[in-house]
Amino acid sequence: MPELPEVETMRLGISQFAGCRIQSVAFPRQSVRPISVTPRPRTIIAKLVGRVIVAVHRYGKRIAIEIAGSECGDATHWLVIEPRMTGLLLVADAPSPQHVRMQIQLSPLFSSVAKASTSPLSQLLFWDRRGLGTVRLLGEPGLLAACGPERLGPDALIVLGSDYSSRLHASIRAIKVALLDQRAVAGIGNIYAAEILFLAGIDPRLPCCRLTGLMWERLATVTRELLAEAVRLKGSTLGDATYRTPNNALGEFQLQHRVYGRQGLPCQACLRPIQRIVQAQRSTFFCPQCQKRSGQSRSQ
DNA sequence: CGTTCAACCTGGGCGC
DNA sequence: TGCGCCCAGGTTGAAC
């Protein structure tokens, strides 16, 4: 579920913890299954307890909680969380207790009245039903390897037409498949790729090398605007309703979906049925009429 | 380069 | 009710 808008909503919802000290860390399912945690849970716990959260960052679809170094010279660390399909960061109660993967208790660094009244909740949970998510505690080299420019392209919220064209213009891959490549552009997933291409009027099957400069510009503009609107609406909570904001609110951008999950339903623009195809083992939804090869722009 | 497949997991929905 | 199957927001690595 979590793509850029959902992960950004998580970041905004837990950034209040900047300045808080970590009181305790637990990995409740540790004995049930070797969950994807590196290094070992006890090592993470030893390195985190007593430390202060400096800031909460987002790199593509990953959250990186910056942990201050200790006074005895220990370096800054980052707790990097990848929600993957069903992971959630929560400050509220978890939907089901058995899927809580990590539990962090926090105490305010300063017991100021303002802080106490604005953040009554001092617990941060990583909840993950399917358990495909990962938690890593990394130093600076690790952070760079996991979230640096070698791994992630420009953030989709600020991507430019020139970013797209310089990275993809020579590729023969279908544009929809390329949009899911985090090294090309960071943050787009299966839902938003479909929605972006519909709004840009571009056929998801079109090879990247056939897009014109004008189309790259339009694609970038639509990407930024659509994702910004999705962040404003706190992401998309689909039918199964697993996705929640950290405060347990539902997303609202699913009400704006034009093609995703709408196979067979009439296109809102032309009334022809939305089609579902499979590309790179993922569903692609699009309108064959509104998303002709070159969209509204003329191409050869 | 690029694509395809399997794997990692749980659980909802469907047809029978 | 239950069983078997297909599907799902993501990522990675092996094989071709």
How many Cβ atoms are within 10 Å of A139's Cβ, its own excluded?
12
Give the pLDDT score at A163.
Answer: 97
Q: Which bases of strand C have any atom within 7 Å of the beta carbon of a protein residue?
A: 7-12
Residue nearest B2 (alpha carbon to C1')? A173
Q: Does the CB of A130 sit below 7 A from strand B?
A: yes
| CATH class belonging to A161-286 | mainly alpha
Measuring from the CA of residue A98 to each C1' atom, give the nucleotide at the shortest distance: B10
Q: Same CATH topology for A4-147 and A161-286?
A: no
Please give the C-alpha separations between residue A151 and each of A66, A138, A140, A192, in angstroms, as whole numbers. Answer: 19, 15, 15, 20
Query: A203 or A34: whose pLDDT is higher?
Result: A203
Domain ranges of chain A: 4-147, 161-286
Average pLDDT over all residues of chain A: 92
* DSSP-derived 3-state class of residue A283: strand
- As a whole number, mean pLDDT of residues A73-87 equals 95
Q: Does the CB of A209 sit below 7 A from strand B?
A: no
Which amino acids of A are annotated catalytic? 2-3, 61, 282
Query: Hey, what's the torsion of the CAs at A163, A165, A166, A168, to 10 degrees?
Result: 110
* DSSP-derived 3-state class of residue A83: coil
Give the pLDDT score at A294.
Answer: 66
Please give the C-alpha separations between residue A166 and each of A130, A169, A175, A216, A298, in angstroms, as whole numbers. Answer: 37, 6, 14, 10, 21
- Please give the Cα distance from A261 to A246 (Å, whole number): 25
Dig out the tokens for A125 from the structure: 């949970």
- Please give the Cα distance from A33 to A30 (Å, whole number): 6
**Residue A210 confidence (pLDDT) above 70:** yes
Q: What is the CATH number of domain A4-147?
A: 3.20.190.10
Give Cα A250 distance to the centre of its chain.
16
Query: A137 or A242: whose pLDDT is higher?
Result: A137
The terminus-to-terminus CA distance of chain A in angstroms comes to 38
**Residue A114 confidence (pLDDT) above 70:** no
Do A76 and A91 meet the contact criterion of CB atoms below 8 Å apart? no
